[in-house]
Amino acid sequence: MRTAVIGIGSNSVRSLLAEVSGTGFQRLKRDREGTRLFAGLDEAGNLDRDSMDKTVSAVQRMALDAKGLGAEKLAIFATSAARDAANGAEFMAAVEKATGIPLRIISGEEEAELSFLGASAAASADRCGMIDIGGGSTEIAIGTPAGIECAFSCQMGAVRLYRRLRLERKEDMRPVEVAAAEILDEKLREFPGLALPENWVGTGGTFTTLAAMALQQPWTNRTNVQGTVITCGQIREIGEKLAGMNVEERKQLPGLQPSRADIVVHGICILLGVMGRLGMDQITVSEWGNLDGYITKNYCRNSL
């Protein structure tokens, strides 16, 4: 069965077309468009018209493309920015009007679960933790192939902290790291006695950027990203290098997606803050994420 899923994130809209067979699936086509939906949230918590229109246009284009390529089932979900929006109902109605498909705004916990289902395949051990750094939030989950032990979302993302904390040089990284660690620490109080795993995987643009830069390859070449192990030392070195550059200088680096140049260091600081709080010295990069997890959970037999 040919299926497709479109995910509306805080930083970008992504789609995945796949052929599902039994307990697995084959990726056929992926697409991405940066729309910065979260950046359209005003002080009252409403999404502005421009950010909604740009996002709806991207979703409509991807939906038409998926249907044209034979998708028998198509689902659309949205994450942090839509969860936060006071006018989320208006945004949902606009997506459904443009595509004919109801938009589902998923909870932070479900987002973490889906990201775990997609990304955990890159882990080298059965029990692992997963970190998904997005534009508006960061999701963390711990589990095994038999089940997820905990899954939660923190109100910190690369775009969210970019709007809140200035970062113009490497000396500015520390306050962002501390802010991320404090947000995570507050969340962890809800899980007393949680046993942390030794193995961790990371998914999202921050991780694929770090892998591309560590491998010294163009960001468009994703063939070697899956399973790349990056150390805390490498992450800090890359972060400090980028923090010492302006946005235009960052855009010239082959490993960095130009549309991510302004927020990338904030994402790296979130990762460093999380790794420090959880006592991690390295993490494995996964190119698979919540879109893959959605297809696994909803269309593949014997999923978690």
pLDDT at 207 over 80: yes
Q: Evaluate the CA torsion angle 267, 107, 16, 118 in order and state its sign.
A: positive
**Which amino acid is residue 22, in one-letter code?**
G
pLDDT at 223 over 80: no
Look up the pTM and report it.
0.95
pLDDT at 256 over 80: yes
The predicted pLDDT at position 302 comes to 59
Query: What pLDDT band is residue 125 in, cutting at 50, 70 and 90?
Result: confident
**Mean pLDDT within 221-240:** 92
Residues 250 and 256: beta-carbon distance below 8 Å: yes
| Residue 170 DSSP label | G
Average pLDDT taken over every residue of the chain: 95
Q: What domains, with CATH codes, occur in the chain?
A: 2-105 (3.30.420.40), 109-290 (3.30.420.150)
Of the two residues 23 and 243, the one the predictor is more confident about is: 243
**Mean pLDDT within 182-203:** 95
pLDDT at 304 over 60: no
**Mean pLDDT within 131-145:** 96
Give the Cα-Cα-Cα angle 214, 217, 221 (nearest 5 degrees): 120
Q: How far is CA 75 from the centre of its chain?
A: 18
Residue 169 in tokens: 């040089």
